Chains A and B, each alone.
Chain A
Amino acid sequence: MEHPPVLDFATDFDHTDDAWVADPYPIMEDLRDRCPVAHSERYGGMWAPMTHATVSAIANDTEHFTSRTIIINNGRPGDEAPPAPIGVAPPISSDPPFHELARRLLLPAFAPRPVNALEGFSRELCNRLLDDMGDADVINASLQYTQHIPVGLIAKMVGLPPEDGDLFRSFVHEIIEAVDLPVEERIARFAPIEAYIIKLIEDHRENPADDLITYLLNAEIAGQKLLDEHVFGTIILLIIAGIDTTWSAIGASLWHLAHNPDDLARLVAHPELIPSAIEEFLRAYAPVTMARLVKDDFEFEGCPMKKDDWILLSFPAANRDPEFFENADQVLIDREVNRHAAFGLGIHRCLGSNLARLEMVVAIEEFITRFPKFELADPSAVTFSQGQVRGPRSLPIRILERA
């Protein structure tokens, strides 16, 4: 099922449209000026706020908006959709008060200290990938580098076979990219993913290990073991949320450096700028857009929202709002004031943000140390993903200088 091309994003918004996938930023800017909350009848009805103020208001309003479903697709969320408060993938799909209980279970594993302990592992992984590139002049940074880094880290933390990386990326594709398929086909395509996760859980029940799956199997909320669907949903979340998101963020950073030689030279000369550069790449190229559902009929900013309408919660749009950021359209790697919303706002702040930052800093440090000069081998060959996670999926880079 293919949607027709969008003629006017203000009234017929579609984030899977080719124009949006190719370059969403001018569209965001145009909408902010004339229609800050865009609308569409697609996907059964959706709204797309484009300003920081409206994105922030909705992210912080759990009374009128639910996280029960967070990926917009053709399945109109009705009685069949998993109910709040747990939802399909807790805690991202959970509402208060259950949300906090599910989130507290996971927060300690993703807090700075345990995550930073993975720095050495991350550096080894990046260097192995760089070694594997040999002395080729042109490499595909997305396929040979950025896609493997989050898989390696998530596999280690969660307890997944790292050699199944291709399989996880195919899961990611089915769940968050193939959103425009008929519902029946989406359900059919989910069956092998379900079978894989169930097998994974059985394996961990028989052979406990020092990983998050074993932790979830032993965890309790109010003295009760977690429901099977809770464990299942959280494993799905950890696989889906941790892979293509960071893959996208690292890829977008390298893409920027590959066509902004001054910024690349500056980071090579002043690696102490890397953390602020990473924050700026997160702001300017925020990979993740979330979604909410309207709980009940509700008027928001003059928009007559109906129960179960989708909300596309574009943190990338919030991050480019000139009302909120000075020089919002410029990428300034030494930006001092940067309250970006790349990891969301409010109670659903990305659980893996510390891990994502570690991966980004290490991946960029190791790449530019090994290759202090590089450029896009063919700018027209760079492709971006479609859907709610945006990042380069093919990124041919020509190496101009090696360490």
Chain B
Amino acid sequence: MKIHLDTSKCQGHGRCYSLAPELFDCDDLGTAVVIVTGELDDDQLKKATLAASNCPEFAIVIGD
């Protein structure tokens, strides 16, 4: 499982990089950036799912 971020949907709410700073960061405009682009281990998957389920814009999908 990997993190898929749709940057066209991201509006910079910042929920993902607040909840899972080990997986997400932001650029100078506050738009989300994925740090861990490869396969997620179990802990990372849990954190990534939490981040995805708090995104107001549905910009994050966890999948293959």
Contacts and interface: CB of A to CB of B under 8 A. Distances in A.
Contacts of B26: 111-112
A261 interface: no
Interface in B1-34: 11-15, 17-18, 26-30
A354 interface: yes
Interface stretch (A75-83, A102-110, A371-379): A102-110
Contacts of A339: 53-56, 58
- Interface of B, helix, strand, loop or mixed by DSSP: loop
Contacts of A112: 14, 17, 26, 30
Instruction: Please provide the 9 A-B residue pairs with the shortest distance between their CB atoms, ordered closest to farther.
Output: A349-B11, A111-B30, A107-B29, A337-B53, A339-B56, A108-B28, A338-B54, A341-B56, A112-B26
A337 B13 contact: no
B14 A353 contact: yes
A104 B27 CA distance: 12
Given A112-B30, A339-B56, A340-B56, A354 B14 contact: yes
Interface residues of A, number: 22
B57 A354 contact: no
B50 interface: yes
Given A111-B26, A111-B30, A349 B54 contact: no
A271 interface: no
Among B26, B27, B57, B58, residue most surrounded by chain A Cβ atoms (within 10 Å): B57
Nearest to B50: A336
A342 B64 CA distance: 31
Contacts of A104: 29
Interface string B39-64: 00000000000100111111000000
11 contacts: A108-B28, A110-B30, A111-B27, A111-B28, A336-B50, A337-B54, A340-B56, A341-B56, A343-B13, A345-B56, A357-B14
A349 B30 CA distance: 11
A368 B58 CA distance: 34
B53 to A, nearest CB: 4
Contacts of B50: 336
Interface in A312-335: none
A347 interface: yes
Contacts of A343: 13, 56
B53 A336 contact: yes
B30 A354 contact: yes
A111 B53 contact: no
Nearest to A342: B56
A346 B56 CA distance: 9
A336 B50 CA distance: 7
A339 B14 CA distance: 11
Interface of A: 104, 107-108, 110-112, 275, 279, 336-341, 343, 345-347, 349, 353-354, 357
B30 A107 contact: yes
A349 B59 CA distance: 14
Contacts of B27: 111
Contacts of B54: 279, 337-339
A17 to B, nearest CB: 29
Given A107-B12, A345-B57, 13 more contacts: A104-B29, A112-B17, A112-B26, A112-B30, A275-B18, A279-B15, A337-B53, A338-B54, A339-B55, A339-B58, A341-B56, A343-B13, A343-B56
A316 to B, nearest CB: 14
B13 to A, nearest CB: 6
Given A104-B29, A110-B30, A111-B29, A347 B11 contact: yes
A340 B55 CA distance: 8
A293 B58 CA distance: 26
Contacts of A345: 11, 56-57
A347 B30 CA distance: 13
A345 B11 CA distance: 8
A71 B52 CA distance: 32
A350 to B, nearest CB: 9
Contacts of A340: 56
A338 B19 CA distance: 12
Contacts of A275: 18
